[in-house]
A and B are shown apart, each in its own frame.
Chain A
Amino acid sequence: MNELDPLLGYLCLAALLFTCGVVCMATKRNAIGVLIGVELVLNGANVNFVAFSRYHPNFQVEGMIFALFVIVMAAGEAAIALAIVLNFYNNHSTVDVDSADELKG
C-alpha cells in the first residue's frame, strides 16, 4: 500500500461531516434539529478550509481567516435562527417544521 496523502483523510472527514449535516437537515422534524444540521455542514466546510491552509501553499493564511469568518457567521446565524424558532414556538406552540406551512401557495 502506497503512502496515503494526509490531505485525503481530512477531505473525507469533511465530506462525512457535510453529508451528516445534510441528512440531519432532511430527516429532523424538530426545528432545532435542522439548526444542528446546519452547524454540522458549516463544520465540514471549516475542516476543508483549515486542511487546505495546511497542505496548499497558496492558501496558508487565507484558509484560517476564512475559517474564522465562517465561525463568526455561524454564531450569528445560530442566534437569529433560535430567535425565529422561539418566536414560532410562542405563536404556534410547536417546533415541528412540517406545521410551518402558512406561506405555502
Chain B
Amino acid sequence: MDDLHPYMFWLIAPLTGLCAIATVITQNIVRSATWLLFTLAGTSSIFFLLGADLVGAIQLLVYVGGTMVLVIFGVMLTAQGPFITMKTSGAEWAISIVAGIMLFAVLGFGATHYVRSSAERAKETVPENPKDSRNSTTIGQGLLGVPVGPSDPKMPSQTIHYLLPFEIVSVHLLVVLIGAAYLARTKRRKEEEAAP
C-alpha cells in the first residue's frame, strides 16, 4: 500500500484539481454544480488515501449526499432562462485570474517553505505509519469527552477533549434548521394582502 501511495496520489490529485478548475471556468451553473460534485468525490478519495477513513466517509455522506443535494435544489429552483449562463466580462476574468495566480504562488511558496524548514525536525519524530491513534474509535472518544491527543510536556495534567465543541455544533445545527425553515418559507399572506 505504501508503495502505491505516490502513484495513487498522482492519479487522484490532478483529476481533483482539474475538476476544481472546470468548476470555475464553466459558465453554465448546472455544469458547475456537476463539476463540484466530482471535486467533492475526489477530495473524499484523497481523504481515504490519507488514511482518514471516517472523514472520507463523512465527506461522502454529508457533502456529496447532503450539501450537493441542497446546491442542486437551489440550481433547479432558480435556473430559469438568463440565470443558467451568466457571462462574466473579460476584464473581470483577467483581474481574477491574475489575482488567483498570485494567491496560488503565495500559498505554494508558504507550503514549500514550511515543508523545507520542518523536514529535518519532522524526520526524527514522525512515525512512518501513525495509524494507532487515528482510528474512528479515538475520534468518537474525543468527541464524547475522553482525553485524546498528545499531552503537553510542560503541563502533563492538562487533558484535551472535544465535548464542548461537539455540543455547540449540535445546538448550532438545530439553530440552522429553524433559521433555514424560517427564511425559506413561502410568504403567501403578504402576497394575498398585496393582491387586492
- Chain A residues with CB under 8 Å of chain B are 5-13, 15-24, 26-30, 32-33, 35-37, 39-40, 43, 46-47, 50-51, 53-58, 60-62, 64-65, 67-69, 71-76, 78-80, 82-87, 89-90, 94-96
Contact = CB atoms under 8 A, between A and B. Distances in A.
Nearest to A58: B150
**Which DSSP category, helix, strand, loop or mixed, fits chain B's interface?**
helix
Contacts of A33: 29, 32, 86
B121 to A, nearest CB: 10
Contacts of B63: 39, 43, 71, 74-75
Given A17-B17, A65-B142, A83-B183, A75 B149 contact: no
A75 B83 CA distance: 24
Contact of A72 (B20, B47, B62): B62
A19 B102 CA distance: 9
B194 interface: no
B20 A17 contact: yes
19 contacts: A6-B6, A10-B46, A13-B46, A16-B20, A23-B99, A27-B92, A32-B71, A32-B78, A43-B63, A54-B50, A55-B126, A57-B126, A61-B133, A71-B63, A76-B173, A79-B70, A79-B177, A80-B176, A87-B184
Contacts of A47: 43, 46-47
A23 B17 CA distance: 14
B143 A65 contact: yes
Given A5-B115, A20-B20, A32 B74 contact: yes
Contacts of B181: 83
Interface residues of B, number: 85
Contact of B130 (A9, A27, A39, A60): A60
Contacts of A23: 24, 96-97, 99-100
A60 B96 contact: no
A42 to B, nearest CB: 9
A79 B178 CA distance: 11
Contacts of B83: 30, 94-96
